[in-house]
Amino acid sequence: MCNVILRPEIFSIPPLGMLVFHPGVTPEYRGPHSAFWATLNNEFWGIGWSLLRIDAGIDTGAVLAQGTCRSADPRSESHVVMQHKAHVDGIAGVVETLRRLESGERPMVDTAGRASNNYTHPGFTDWLRLRRFLAKLKKADVPARSESERV
């Protein structure tokens, strides 16, 4: 849970590569505050986690495993809480993937053809847009896009 960009001299040291446990579904939700942007985009399936290899980009490495956070509720929880829940939900998947790597397997999620978006920190107007969207969603009792659309 850091945002330091490592130099290749550092992330290339481990023989199997260095991994990051990202609180968002990549490549669609790269960068910080993934749950905020997935909620604002009405793509609740994007509130989740990805285990990926670190490379020179921002959350652009090969995805080894990922999943949607089933316990998050964008209508009543902050994006920070949902991202922490995503990490908790993803622990079993990370452990399984590390075991597979240890046994010599090379797990990989096919991300070919998927949109790649690098989001940044939300600003005040983004927060206002989110508040309006959530109020409309609650008032209309409209379901969000299906969580099963992606992961």
Does any domain span residue 149?
no
Tell me which amino acid residue 118 is. N
**CA 138 → CA 35, 79, 142, distances in Å?**
18, 17, 7
Q: How do the pLDDT tens digits run along the chain, 151 residues long?
A: 456 677 777 777 777 778 999 999 999 999 999 999 999 999 999 999 999 998 888 889 999 999 999 899 888 899 999 999 999 999 999 999 999 999 999 999 999 999 999 999 999 999 999 999 999 888 876 555 544 455 5
Does any domain span residue 52?
yes
Does any domain span residue 28?
yes
| CATH code of the domain covering residue 39 | 3.40.50.170
Does any domain span residue 3?
no
Does any domain span residue 147?
no
Residues 29, 119: contact at Cβ < 8 Å?
yes
Does any domain span residue 61?
yes
State how many domains the chain has.
Answer: 1
Domain that holds residue 75: 8-141
Stated pTM of the model: 0.84
Alpha-carbon distance of 72 to 54, in angstroms, equals: 26
Does any domain span residue 43?
yes
Does any domain span residue 85?
yes
